[in-house]
Chains A and B, each alone.
Chain A
Amino acid sequence: MIYLLIPIIGFYLTSSACYGVFLFIQKERCEQVGFALMIAGFAIHTVLVGGKALYFGIIPVQNFHETLLFSAWIFAAVFLAFKILSRLKVLGVFAAPLVTILSAAAFMVPDRAVEIETSLASLWLIVHVVLIFIGMAALSLAAGTGVLYLIQKRNIKSKKHRFFFKRLPSLEMLDSTGYTFVVIGFTALTTGLITGFVYAHTVWGRFWSWDPKEVWSAITWLIYAALLHERLMSRWRGNRAAILAIIGFAAMLFTFLGVNFLLEGHHDEFTRW
C-alpha cells in the first residue's frame, strides 16, 4: 500500500513545480497543468486513504504515518475545492508544496501498527478529526494568503515593484480571501472542537481535562477568535489581520505537532510510530 504513495508524491511534486514555473512566467497553461496534476495525485490519494478506511473500518489516523497521510489528503481536498470556487491561482504556489511535504513526511514515517486505546470508530471522533483537519487546511491557506498580502503590501509601500508586484493579486482580494479562509477555518475548527468535547464526554465522562493539546487548541482558537472579533469590529484589516493569521498558524502548528512531541496527553498516540 505504501508504494501507492510514490506516484502520489510524484504528482504533487510535479504540480508544485508547475506552480513554481507559473509564478515565474505567469503562463495560464502552467497553472492548469499544475491543477490537473494535483487532481491526479488527489485521486490516487483518495484510493489509498479510502482503501485504508474500508480495510480497517475506521478513520485512518492510527499512527503518525496515517495522520500525516490523512491530513495531506484533507489539505489537498480543501485546496481543490477552494480552487474550483476562487480565482486566486497563485495560492497553489503555497498549497501544492504543503500537500507535497505532508505526503512526503507520511512516506518517511513507517506505517507501523501502534497499540492505541482510543476507539476510532466513533462517529463523534471521525467528525472531530475531519473537521479539525479541514479547519487546519483552511487556516494554513489563510496564513498563506497572509504572507502573500504582506509581500504585496511591502511592494506597494516601498514603491519598488519587484518580482512579486505583477504576479500577486490586489491587496483587497488577498485580504478578503484570507478573511474567507479564516471564517471557514474557524467555523470548522470550532465545530471540530465541540465534537471533540462531546466525544471526550462519552469516553471519559468530562468535556475538558486540561490536556496540553486541549490547552493549546484553546490558545489557537482564541487567537483566531480575536482576529475575527477585531475584523468584525472592522479595526483589523490588511496588515494586522495578515500577521495574526500567520501567528495563529504558528500556534496551530505547535498544537498539531509540537504538543505531541514536547508535551504529553491523550492525543499523542496519533503521532507515535
Chain B
Amino acid sequence: MNLPDGKENFGNEMPMAQKTEALPEIFLIGLNHVSAPVELRECLAFSTEQSETALGELKKSTAIKEILIISTCNRVEFLFTSLFPEEAVQTVIQRLSDTKAIPSHRFEPAMYIHSGNAAVRHVFRVAASLDSMIVGEPQILGQIKEAYRLAVNNKATGVVLNRMLHKAFSTAKRVRSETGIGDRAISISYAAVELAKKIFGSLDEKTVLLVGAGEMAELAVEHLHRNRASGNLYVANRTFEVGVDLARRFSGEAIRFEEIGASLTRADIIISSTGSPEYVISQGLVRPIMRKRRNRPLFFIDIAVPRDIDPDINRLENAYVYDIDDLQGVIEENISSRQNESVKAERIIDEGIIRFRRWYDSLDVVPTIKQIRGKLTTIAEAELAKTLPSMGQLSDEDVEALKKMVESIVNKSLHDPILFLKNPGAHRDKSLYIDVFRKIFNLEDD
C-alpha cells in the first residue's frame, strides 16, 4: 500500500489558526455497532464523496486542527485534534447532522467521546479489529487505511494524526501476527465449511454463489474452494465490473444482481456479504425455487451486517440459513483461549499507546529545547576533550576560555531556532515544527 509517509507532509502548510502555546489534544467522537442500532448507523454512514466534502468543511473550522473520518457499516467516527474541544465537537456534530440531514438529537445519545489516551486506544483497537463486530476480521484495517488516505489527500491530517495512524497500523499488524485474533475470522469461515459438509457430505460438484464482495466472504469462498475438487462459482455484485474481477480470481462466472433469483436453482451454497440495508434474498424468493430445484438442499451463509438473507428461509424445508452470530455460536467452544489472545492483543495495544504517547508528549517545546541543547553540548564537549590534549601546555585560564567559547557557540547558534520554536508564528502548527526539529536533530522520543 502506497501510503504517504508522515515525512512527506512536513511541507504542508497548516492553515489552521492557533494562538495559544498549548499542544492540541486528541479527540474521537462517533458511534459504532455497540452504541447505535443498525438503522441509525445506516442513516449516518458517509460515502467517499461525503467524507471528502466533510473533511474540506471541517478543516476550515478554527477549532479543528487535524481531522479524519472513519465510516464503515459498523461505525461512523471523527478523529480530530483540537485546542477548543467543545467548539470542535459542536462543529463535528453539526456537520454530521447537515450532511445526513438528520437532527442531531436523534444520534447524539448514541455517541461516545474519547479524549487523549482513550481516543488513541480506541483508534488502535479499531485498527487492530478488536472493536469489530467480528473480532479479528481483516477488513477494518484496510478501511481505516482508506479513510486515512482520503484525509491525507485532502490535506486534513497533520503531524499528530499522521504519527498516530502509522502507529495504529504497525500495532494492528503486530496484533495480527503475534496473536490468534485473526484466526477468529478464519474460524468463522472454517465453521461455515464444516456446516456445509454436514449438510452436503462432499462439497465436490456443489455450486457456490457469492453475493457481494467483502474480505470475509472471499475468505469463506477461498476456504470452500480448498475443500472441494470441482464445482462452479457464481459472483453477483451490484457493480458488475467488481464482480467480474472477483469471479476471474476464483475462475468463476460473474452474474448480474438481478439474476440472483434465477441462479438459486443451480446454486447450493450461497455466501452473502453486501452492504444492503434490506434482505437481498427473501423467503418469498426462495420458496418457489425449492420446488424447481427438486428440494435439493440450499445452504445460506450470511456474513453481512445488517443481514442479507431473510432468516425465515431457515424455516423452509431443506433450506438452511446461518448468519454471523450463528456461526460465532458454533465456534464458541474455544472461547477461553480466545480470551487469552485478547489479553495479549490488549497488551500490544498498550505498548503502542505508550510509544505514541512518549512521542506526543515530547512535542512540548521545553523538553525538545533541552534535548537539542543537551545533544549539542555533548558534541562540543566531546570535541573539546579530544582537541585539548594535542594543544600542548595550556593554562587553566586558557582551557576555561576555550570551554566558554564552545558553550557560547552552542548557545548562539541555537538562539534563533529556539526562538522560532517557542513562537513559530500565529498561524503555524507548533507541533509540526517541533517534530521537524526532533527529526533534524535525531532526538529519541523518550
Contact = CB atoms under 8 A, between A and B. Distances in A.
B43 to A, nearest CB: 30
A207 B320 CA distance: 49
B197 interface: yes
B201 A170 contact: yes
Max count, chain B CB within 10 A of own CB: residue among A160, A170, A235, A240: A170
A171 B294 contact: no
Interface string B285-298: 00000010011110
Interface residues of A, number: 19
Given A170-B197, A239-B318, A159 B295 contact: no
B295 A171 contact: no
A201 interface: no
Given A171-B297, A234-B294, A159 B318 contact: no
A237 B298 CA distance: 13
B198 interface: yes
Contact of B317 (A152, A160, A165, A240): A240
B245 to A, nearest CB: 33
Interface string B170-206: 0000000000000000000000000101111110000
A234 B314 CA distance: 20
A235 B201 contact: no
A169 B201 CA distance: 8
B201 A237 contact: no
A161 B295 contact: no
B57 interface: no
A238 interface: yes
B329 interface: yes
Contacts, number: 49
B322 interface: yes
A152 B199 CA distance: 9
Nearest to A166: B198
B297 A239 contact: no
Contact of B320 (A156, A161, A240): A156
Contact of B329 (A159, A169, A173, A238): A159
Nearest to A233: B294
Nearest to B200: A172
B317 A238 contact: yes
A160 B199 CA distance: 15
B385 interface: no
Interface string A66-109: 00000000000000000000000000000000000000000000
Contacts of B197: 170
Interface string B80-106: 000000000000000000000000000
A170 B200 contact: yes
A156 B326 contact: no
Contacts of A160: 329
Contact of B198 (A156, A235, A239): A156
Interface in A215-273: 234-240
B330 interface: yes
B199 A156 contact: yes
Contacts of A169: 201
Contact of B318 (A152, A161, A173, A238): A238
A172 B297 contact: yes
A29 interface: no
Nearest to B291: A235
A239 to B, nearest CB: 5
Contacts of B317: 238-240
B322 A165 contact: no
Nearest to A165: B198
B200 A161 contact: no
Interface in B287-329: 291, 294-297, 314, 317-318, 320, 322, 326, 329
A89 to B, nearest CB: 15
Nearest to A240: B317
A235 B297 contact: no
Nearest to A169: B201
Given A161-B330, A234-B295, A236-B295, A172 B320 contact: no
A170 B198 contact: yes
Interface in A148-182: 152, 156-157, 159-161, 165, 169-173
Contact of A159 (B199, B200, B330): B330
Contact of B201 (A173, A234, A240): A173
B198 A157 contact: no
7 shortest A-B CB distances, which residue pairs? A234-B294, A170-B201, A172-B201, A237-B295, A173-B201, A159-B326, A172-B200
24 contacts: A156-B195, A156-B199, A156-B320, A157-B314, A159-B326, A159-B330, A161-B330, A165-B198, A170-B200, A170-B201, A171-B198, A171-B199, A171-B297, A172-B201, A172-B297, A173-B201, A234-B294, A235-B291, A237-B294, A237-B297, A238-B295, A238-B297, A239-B317, A240-B317
Interface of B: 195, 197-202, 291, 294-297, 314, 317-318, 320, 322, 326, 329-330
